Amino acid sequence: MPRKAKVHTEMDDDGDVELTVKQPTPPPTSPSTIIKGKSKSKSASGTRTPPPTGLRQRIKNTVDEISKETEELHVRLWKKDDGHYKLLAPGTPFNEIDLSESTFFRHDGHKGKPTWSSWLFGRKFVFPAGVILGICLALWAVDLTTLPADMKDIWSTLPAALDPRDLLANLTVVEGARRALENRDFTVGESLVEQYGLQKHHPIVLIPGIVSTGLESWGTESVARPFFRKRLWGTSTMIRAVLTNKDRWIQALSIDPETGLDPPGFKIRAAQGLDAARILIGYWIWQKIVENLATLGYDTNSMDMAAYDWRLAYYNLETRDAYFTRLKGRIETMRRHNGQKVVLCSHSLKWVESDPKENGFGGGGGAAWVEENIESWINVAGTMLGVSKAMTAFLSGEMRDTVELHPAGSWVLEKFFSRRERAKLFRRWPGSTSMWMKGGNRIWGNDSSAPDDPTNATDTHGRFFSFRHPGTSEEESSLNRWTVSPNLTLNEAGPYVLTHTPPSFQRMMESNYSVGFERDEEQLKRNDRDHTKWSNPLEVRLPEAPSMKIFCLYGHGKETERSYWYMQGEYEHDDTRSDAENEDAYCDTTDPSNGCDNSTTLRAPLDFPLSRKHWIDSVVTVKGSNPEVRSGVKFGDGDGTIPVISLGSMCVKGWNGTTRWNPAGIEVITQEYLHSPESMDLRGGAQTADHVDILGATPLNTAILKIAAGRGDLVTQQIGSEIFEYVKKQDWD
Predicted local confidence at residue 222, as pLDDT: 86
Residue 672 has pLDDT above 80, yes or no: yes
Pairing outcome for strands 465-468 and 558-572: parallel
Q: How confident is the model at residue 153 (pLDDT cuts 50, 70, 90)?
A: very low
How far is 193 from 705, CA to CA, in rounded Å? 10
Catalytic residues: 348, 639, 691
Please write the tens of the pLDDT for every residue from 209-260.
Answer: 888 889 999 999 888 888 898 889 988 888 888 888 888 899 999 999 999 9
Contact of 346 with 553, CB cutoff 8 Å: no
72 φ, ψ to 5°? Answer: -65, 130
Predicted local confidence at residue 239, as pLDDT: 84
Mean pLDDT calculated for residue range 653-670: 96
Residue 730 has pLDDT above 60, yes or no: yes
Predicted local confidence at residue 628, as pLDDT: 92
Please write the tens of the pLDDT for every residue from 72-101.
Answer: 556 666 666 666 666 666 656 556 655 554
353 φ, ψ to 5°? Answer: -75, -30
Predicted local confidence at residue 95, as pLDDT: 60
Residue 281 has pLDDT above 60, yes or no: yes
Residue 129 has pLDDT above 50, yes or no: yes
Q: Cβ-count burial of 586 within 10 angstroms (0-12 exposed, 13-18 middle, 19+ buried)?
A: buried
Q: Where are the beta strands (DSSP E) in 381-483?
A: 465-468
Amino acid at the residue 37: G
Residue 335 has pLDDT above 70, yes or no: yes
How far is 37 from 49, CA to CA, in rounded Å? 14
Instruction: Kindly report the average pLDDT of the chain as a whole number.
Output: 79
Instruction: Tell me what percent of the residues of the chain surpass a pLDDT of 70.
Output: 67
Predicted local confidence at residue 301, as pLDDT: 95
Predicted local confidence at residue 154, as pLDDT: 43
Q: How confident is the model at residue 157 (pLDDT cuts 50, 70, 90)?
A: very low
- Which of the listed ranges 26-40, 163-177, 280-294 does the model predict with the highest average pLDDT? 280-294
Contact of 291 with 185, CB cutoff 8 Å: yes
- Which of the listed ranges 131-135, 257-261, 532-536, 723-727 does the model predict with the highest average pLDDT? 723-727
Choice between 515 and 406, residue whose per-residue pLDDT is larger:
515
Predicted local confidence at residue 67, as pLDDT: 47
Residue 9 has pLDDT above 90, yes or no: no
Q: Where are the beta strands (DSSP E) in 157-294?
A: 204-206, 215-217, 231-233, 268-270, 279-280, 283-284
Please write the tens of the pLDDT for every residue from 678-687.
Answer: 877 888 889 9
Least confident piece of the model among 140-149, 278-287, 325-334, 519-528? 140-149
How far is 27 from 69, CA to CA, in rounded Å? 5
How far is 229 from 133, CA to CA, in rounded Å? 47
Q: Reduce the secondary structure of 369-396 to three states and give it as a string.
A: HHHHHEEEEEEECCCCCCCHHHHHHHHH
Please write the tens of the pLDDT for every residue from 511-551.
Answer: 999 999 999 999 999 999 899 999 999 999 999 999 999 99
Contact of 631 with 618, CB cutoff 8 Å: yes
Q: How confident is the model at residue 336 (pLDDT cuts 50, 70, 90)?
A: very high
Please write the tens of the pLDDT for every residue from 484-501.
Answer: 999 999 999 999 999 989
Please write the tens of the pLDDT for every residue from 37-65.
Answer: 344 444 444 445 565 556 566 666 765 66
HSE of 665, CA atoms in CB hemisphere, 13 A: 1
- Which of the listed ranges 72-76, 137-141, 639-643 does the model predict with the highest average pLDDT? 639-643
Mean pLDDT calculated for residue range 650-656: 96
Residue 21 has pLDDT above 90, yes or no: no
Give residue 28's Cα distance to chain centre: 80
Strand, coil or helix: 259:
coil
Least confident piece of the model among 26-35, 44-53, 233-242, 639-648? 26-35
